[in-house]
Amino acid sequence: MAHPSTYQPRSGAEKWLDERLPVARLMHDQFMTFPTPRNLNYWWTFGGILTFILVAQIVTGVVLAMHYIPAEDRAFDSIEHIMRDVNWGWLLRYSHAVGASMFFLAAYIHTFRGLYYGSYKAPREVLWILGVLILLLMIATAFMGYSLPWGQMSFWAVTVITNLFSSLDAIVPGLGTTLVQWIWGGFAVGGPTLNRLYSLHYLFPFIIAGVVVLHIWALHVPGNNNPAGIEVKSPKETVPFHPYYSIKDGFALLMFLLLFGVFLFFAPNLLGHADNYIPANPLQTPPHIVPEWYFLPFYAILRAVPDKLLGVIALVSSIVVLFFVPWLDTSKVRSTSYRPVYRWFFWAFVVTCIALGYLGSQAPEGWYLFFGRVFTIYYFAFFLVVMPVVGKFERPRRLPGSITEAVLGHAEQPRSRKREAVA
């Protein structure tokens, strides 16, 4: 939020630097005194949590890269070398692997929070689009990272996902095949594929970090949305980010780390798949090829469509549709709390995503496939039908006049009713 700078250089050196590169001023204004709505709830703490995990993933990843060997015949053993012989290697590797799951858990909560409170609506469309871009980059990064242990599931996940591009053969014969061989660096998934996946897996997190900077920049221009979904009307309705939200985010981060710790120390393989402890074998397909849990809803959508090309289009659309959410939702009201009709559709959408996640882990046959299709249809209908139509016809509940009123809740209402009675 544009606010007057309150930074005062306290020494000659600070003054000198401030006139040349006002980086201390930037930090002071954006992360210390930044005016933040005083009514943010704990769902708003996931941005800070995500920043922490991104940094943790990069730090653990850089150290892991010092010990990992991206070669077809050595990758699996080099991971086991990390687990057995590198000092604290087991902690680094499990932190990184479990950290990926925690990253997606937090990112999904963060995204659902944005959806529920309408944080994508004007003037925060660019902020939202950058967020979807980060999600897309995360998906690519996690997929490439999962390939690196070069176990059975790594190998076959790469085979299945890269083969999706071959569906382009249905448009231009030969185009898909050529593209897939270009991606593989050969006629099958192999050493060259592993090398390039590793190279890109190291590159992408830094691109994510760059987009995160833009994401925070785009947040700091209009300022935070808030649970009431109404604009800040006076400076009294805000508090400086530090200490109010630095400490609230800090507490939330610790609670999140406790959950992280449960998985990391007591069930590090619970979220993974046993088959990935079998070295990659191109001659033996596992009975079920299943992605990591955080991709299961998308996997269910892919398999719900009987045609390969259309399935891939559905898969890509399920994420791309998020880019258009700011314009698909026609309601003027941001917060779903004040939208009595839309609210039901929203929670049905949350249930749909969880159901698709479960169905993605099951074989696509019988009732599983049937419900996979039902939920896939609702997934898209939510964006393409519910968002535009409900916004037009719904009568939202009365919005509070200000954040102050929203915070005070019903305390003022009896008084106003009394006044009405007198009148």
Q: With CA atoms as reference, report the closest residue to 98 among 37, 36, 146.
A: 146
Out of 16, 182, 217, 265, name the contact with another protein by CB under 8 A: 265
Residues binding another protein: number (CB under 8 A): 45
Give the DSSP letter of residue 52: H
Q: With CA atoms as reference, report the closest residue to 98 among 233, 321, 263.
A: 263
Please say which residue, 40 or 158, places its beta carbon nearer to another protein.
40
Out of 13, 171, 258, 422, name the contact with another protein by CB under 8 A: 258
Residues 72, 191 contacting (CB under 8 angstroms):
yes
402 lines the binding site for another protein (CB under 8 A): no
Task: Tell me how far, at minimum, the Cβ of 406 lies from another protein, in Å.
Answer: 11
Residues 172, 228 contacting (CB under 8 angstroms):
no
Residues 290, 153 contacting (CB under 8 angstroms):
yes
Q: Which amino acid is at 172?
A: V
Task: Tell me how far, at minimum, the Cβ of 366 lies from another protein, in Å.
Answer: 12
Out of 268, 308, 313, 364, name the contact with another protein by CB under 8 A: 268
Task: Tell me how far, at minimum, the Cβ of 35 lies from another protein, in Å.
Answer: 14
Out of 26, 188, 221, 267, name the contact with another protein by CB under 8 A: 267
Give the DSSP letter of residue 398: P
408 lines the binding site for another protein (CB under 8 A): yes
The beta-strand segments (E) located in 166-268 are 238-240
| Residues 347-386 within binding reach of another protein (CB under 8 A) | 361-363
Please say which residue, 72 or 329, places its beta carbon nearer to another protein.
72
Out of 228, 264, 280, 359, name the contact with another protein by CB under 8 A: 264
Out of 96, 201, 220, 248, name the contact with another protein by CB under 8 A: 248
The CA-to-CA distance between both ends of the chain, in Å, stands at: 41
Out of 269, 285, 330, 413, name the contact with another protein by CB under 8 A: 269
320 lines the binding site for another protein (CB under 8 A): no
Task: Tell me how far, at minimum, the Cβ of 53 lies from another protein, in Å.
Answer: 15
Candidate ranges 50-58, 218-226, 256-264, 339-347; the one touching another protein (CB under 8 A):
256-264
Please say which residue, 7 or 244, places its beta carbon nearer to another protein.
244
| Residues 16-45 within binding reach of another protein (CB under 8 A) | 38
CA distance 344 to 396: 13
Alpha-carbon distances of 270 from 101, 263, 355, 361, rounded to whole Å: 11, 8, 20, 14
CA distance 127 to 321: 16
CA distance 415 to 300: 53
> What 3-state DSSP class applies to 270?
coil
Tell me, residue by residue from 58 to 87, as one string, x for binding to another protein by CB under 8 A and - for no binding. Answer: -------------------x--x--xx---
Residues 298, 306 contacting (CB under 8 angstroms):
no
Residues 141, 204 contacting (CB under 8 angstroms):
yes
CA distance 335 to 14: 43
Out of 412, 413, 417, 418, name the contact with another protein by CB under 8 A: 412
> What 3-state DSSP class applies to 151?
strand
Give the interface with another protein as residue ranges (CB under 8 A). 38, 77, 80, 83-84, 90-91, 94, 239, 243-244, 247-248, 250-251, 254-255, 257-258, 261-262, 264-270, 272-275, 277-278, 287-288, 290, 361-363, 404, 407-408, 411-412
